[in-house]
Structure 1
Amino acid sequence: MIRCFAFLPLLSFSFVVAQEPTATPAKLTIYNQDFAVARTTVPLDLHAGANEVLTTNVTKQLEPDSVILRDPSGRNLVNVVEQNYDAAVVDQQWLMDKYEGKTIDFEIQGPQVVESATGERQTVPAKTIEGRIIRAGSQSASGYPYSPPLIEVAGKMQFSMPGTPIFPATLDGLLLKPTLRWQIDAEKAARFNAELDYMTHGMNWQATYNVVVPESSDTTAPELAEIIGWVTIQNKTGADFPKATIQLMAGDVAKIQDLRRREMNGVAYNQNAMVFASSGAPAVTQEAFDDFHLYDLHRTVSLSNGETKQIQFLEASNVTVRRTYRFEGNNPVTQPFYPGYHNDQIGFDHSGNTRVAILQEIKNSVANHLGMPLPAGRLRFYRRDRDGQMQFVGRT
């Protein structure tokens, strides 16, 4: 059900700023299309009339028009009159832009400890020079400069900074974290924990599988393999999630934005739902959700910005693997068109294909110690040699 709330005119003009504690636990649904849905809480202490509320528990790649702020109990109407999102977190480039046209100090040599002829040690203070920022320059998202800064030093200009810039100590206009601000009109005073939902870019996941088969001299007989499945989660949102419960959505969800996608091959979605668990670890469950598959890790995960985390979600043994060989004598190729020339085998290479493809077949069934719809991912095959050592023999 979709609820539409009209923006009402302000009834009064009282002004209250509400803050929430940091490290609020979050619930994440991560998609394998470089985005996620984050759900957290914002404590609201509203007065009748106009209120201003802010939260810093959001990411740097938040989609502002995806934000939903509501009372999960349904007892209070959250009437948002205006929303502002600022992701311009302070960094060196931001400060260079702020002080463009002004003179600041540049440290050209840090403090040093020197020893005199008598053995006495003393600290020499850092050396600095003044320079005026003619042009701050610009950087790409990865930090590489698009154009160099232009600095005036002692009446001369140079296309590089003479040293480390040192900016005046001020907090005016500085943002240490991405910030969401709302103007909320409340009909009456209310105090409750509001639910905040939003979509963010910069988060992704993929599945990988390691298949280990024993040493064998019979290349045609079925083999019993061990399969270990991993989920790799990447967080590049610009925010930390110290206490997050995670669900993974598998499938291509329709989305207007042109998102980066990772190509993943391998295990298909089939068979009935069941539970997989590693020994001593919480069970990972799967359920059909809409036209997709939803996997729940059933655990709290700490996911820091810039971190790549791997979680084991599948461990199966005595899985039957069948090896087959496929040979195709004619290798299809694209033939150029020559007028008046007749070729009765056009579209094939006459020399033939001399390569033999080695195929490993794994049936995803309960009888084969599997049976859970598995997310698509890369499979790596290892075979033990005569000494019991694992050797890599292929991947898909």
Structure 2
Amino acid sequence: MTKGAKLLCGTLAASLLAAAPLAAQERAVALQAQQGLSITLYQDDLALVHDNRWVPLVQGENRLAIAGVSDRLIGGSLALQAEEEGLRILEQSLLPADLTPHELLRRAVGQQVRLVTQDEEGGERSEAATLLSMAAGPVLRVGERIEIDPPGRIVLLDLPEGLHAEPQLGMAVQTESDGPQELAFAYLTRGLSWEADYVATLDAEEDRLMLEGWATLANDTQAPYRRAHLRLVAGSVAQSGPEVAPRSMMLQARAESAVAFDSMPAPEAASDRYLFDTGREVDLLPGERKRVGLFRQEGVAVERSYRFEGLVTAGGQERRGPVSAGLHLTFTNEGEPARPLPAGTLRVYEPVAEGPSLFAGETRISHTPVGGELALRLGEAFDVTATTRQTAFERLSDSSYETAGEVTIRNAKTEEVTVEVAGQLPQGARILEESAPHEAESVQRPVWTLSVPAEGETTLTYRVRVNR
């Protein structure tokens, strides 16, 4: 856009109504007139679209019907720019896709049509008729009779003006000169969004993983976006409330496609959010789901751990039978190639000695800044189990008591393992005795880290006093 471009802002009504048929001088502005397109996708069903069109105009008033805009455009969000200072916006409206059988017949009320039916021999018979009403279905005068919802089909002799096969942006502009001009307009829309997905391939022998970041794009509008410069925003923005989409159509998703992986530039911090400029142009068609590769990070150091939750308690309840340890994977988002990780789903795959990799588990991660730690629970360990039992309970008063217990951990593996035992204690609890020192994740969550020998077992004992 020229540096001296004049910003012309207009407001669409909060509920966009179908406009009346435009005059005959309406000029269609097709997608072929598009000079540039940019879409900025947010993670909460929102997108900002910047669209540039090259439009031939004549002096005076011009009526434009701009094709290829979202049918879920948010009322009041439209802003336009024009190169010429003499250009002025008079009207704006969202024109629905109204080239439908019912609308065609409604426009033809009072006009001559043809009623085509089948005769007794299977041939077609065509009769001149007048369409009298479409209030509750077609009513026709055919010769001397009145036909109500007649069999057969009604054939129109003329195509009514002002109907549109797809949603369009209607605009009336006033200009002081003839010639083509570039119009740049921006709008917010529902139905366009993205979410983050991560694929981690674990090298258990080296205690490292390879992490790939992907963006899954979704287009649930009727508008095709071709060769669109793609930007992604991680984080939420304030919105006043849900917008009712005018005559929107939620399309079934096409088969998911994927764009070849290519690392993008580092994200840019913007208003406590992160802007990821992919530096690429994409096609995102109605109903399409598309995955775009964002980055690949090699050699991320990880720690594999086994963890039991809630075996150490002071509530007097005892678990029956052995329980399996949770298998956890922990790594820190740090190092030179690290970047902020938007919230999304992380899936872990682990190679095996023979055959393809195995799916090891998945978890939902929150927004993770550089330097943040991710702890992933991948499932249960088959060979590391534990049993627990209460060994003592003594009531000291109406408001205090002591309890003791033990947790026995068994390791069926042929190598030593390190196991974490995380307790869950009530308020007012204090550990009096323990067979191994603990660390406090919080006031009520002690964690013991124990070594369990190969094909052996280790027992943790403890005593707790609770003052209510």
For the superposition of Structure 1 and Structure 2, which TM-score range results when normalised by the shorter chain? 0.5 to 0.7
8 Å Cα contact 1:33-1:259 kept in structure 2: no
Alignment-derived partner of residue 171 in structure 1 = 159
Alignment-derived partner of residue 111 in structure 1 = none
Q: 1:258 to 1:355 in 2, by over 3 A?
A: farther
**Amino acid paired to 1:55:** I
**Amino acid paired to 1:196:** F
Q: Please give the residue correspondences for 1:47-86 in structure 2 after superposition, counting only pairs within 5 Å.
A: 47-71=58-82, 76=85, 78-86=87-95
Alignment-derived partner of residue 393 in structure 1 = 360
Q: TM-score, normalised by structure 2?
A: 0.56
Matched, 1:232 2:216: yes
Give identity over the alignment, percent: 24
Alignment-derived partner of residue 460 in structure 2 = none
Instruction: Provide, for residues 279-307 of structure 1, a one-character-per-residue CA deviation record: whole Å limited to 9, x for no partner.
Output: 98463441112221111121221221111
Q: TM-score, normalised by structure 1?
A: 0.65
8 Å Cα contact 2:72-2:189 kept in structure 1: yes
8 Å Cα contact 1:82-1:182 kept in structure 2: yes
Matched, 1:241 2:225: yes
Q: Which has the larger radius of gyration?
A: 2
8 Å Cα contact 1:235-1:303 kept in structure 2: yes
1:355, distance to aligned residue in structure 2 (A):
5.5
Matched, 1:383 2:350: yes
Measure the CA separation in 2 of the matches of 1:189 and 1:150: 46
Alignment-derived partner of residue 264 in structure 2 = 283
**Amino acid paired to 2:93:** N
8 Å Cα contact 1:5-1:79 kept in structure 2: no
1:229, distance to aligned residue in structure 2 (A):
2.1
Measure the CA separation in 2 of the matches of 1:294 and 1:44: 31
Q: Secondary structure at the match of 2:29?
A: coil
8 Å Cα contact 1:16-1:50 kept in structure 2: no
Task: Note the aligned Cα RMSD (angstroms).
Answer: 4.5
Q: Secondary structure at the match of 1:324?
A: strand
Alignment-derived partner of residue 38 in structure 1 = 49
Q: Pick the structure with more strand per residue.
A: 2
**Amino acid paired to 2:284:** L
Alignment-derived partner of residue 183 in structure 1 = 172
Out of 264, 267, 289, the position equivalent to 1:308 is: 289
8 Å Cα contact 2:63-2:171 kept in structure 1: yes
Out of 186, 189, 197, the position equivalent to 2:186 is: 197
8 Å Cα contact 2:263-2:293 kept in structure 1: no
Q: Please give the residue correspondences for 1:97-246 in structure 2 after superposition, counting only pairs within 5 Å.
A: 168=156, 170-172=158-160, 173-187=162-176, 191-214=180-203, 216=205, 223-246=207-230
1:79, distance to aligned residue in structure 2 (A):
2.4
1:197, distance to aligned residue in structure 2 (A):
0.8
Alignment-derived partner of residue 144 in structure 1 = none
8 Å Cα contact 2:261-2:295 kept in structure 1: no
Q: 1:324 to 1:97 in 2, by over 3 A?
A: farther
Measure the CA separation in 2 of the matches of 1:107 and 1:34: 48
Q: 1:325 to 1:34 in 2, by over 3 A?
A: same
**Unpaired runs of 5+ in structure 1?**
8-14, 109-123, 138-148, 217-221, 261-277, 333-343
Instruction: Provide, for residues 165-197 of structure 1, a one-character-per-residue CA deviation record: whole Å limited to 9, x for no partner.
Output: 675464314311212222223355564201111
1:51, distance to aligned residue in structure 2 (A):
2.7
Alignment-derived partner of residue 332 in structure 2 = 363
Measure the CA separation in 2 of the matches of 1:215 and 1:282: 25
Alignment-derived partner of residue 20 in structure 1 = 29
Q: 1:282 to 1:208 in 2, by over 3 A?
A: closer
Out of 91, 99, 110, the position equivalent to 1:90 is: 99
Measure the CA separation in 1 of the matches of 2:344 and 2:125: 54
1:64, distance to aligned residue in structure 2 (A):
3.7
8 Å Cα contact 2:8-2:88 kept in structure 1: no
Alignment-derived partner of residue 238 in structure 2 = 254
Instruction: Provide, for residues 91-130 of structure 1, a one-character-per-residue CA deviation record: whole Å limited to 9, x for no partner.
Output: 456557768999987999xxxxxxxxxxxxxxx9888999
8 Å Cα contact 2:196-2:345 kept in structure 1: yes
Q: In the comparison of the two structures, how many residue pairs are matched?
A: 319
**Unpaired runs of 5+ in structure 2?**
1-5, 12-23, 141-145, 245-258, 364-468
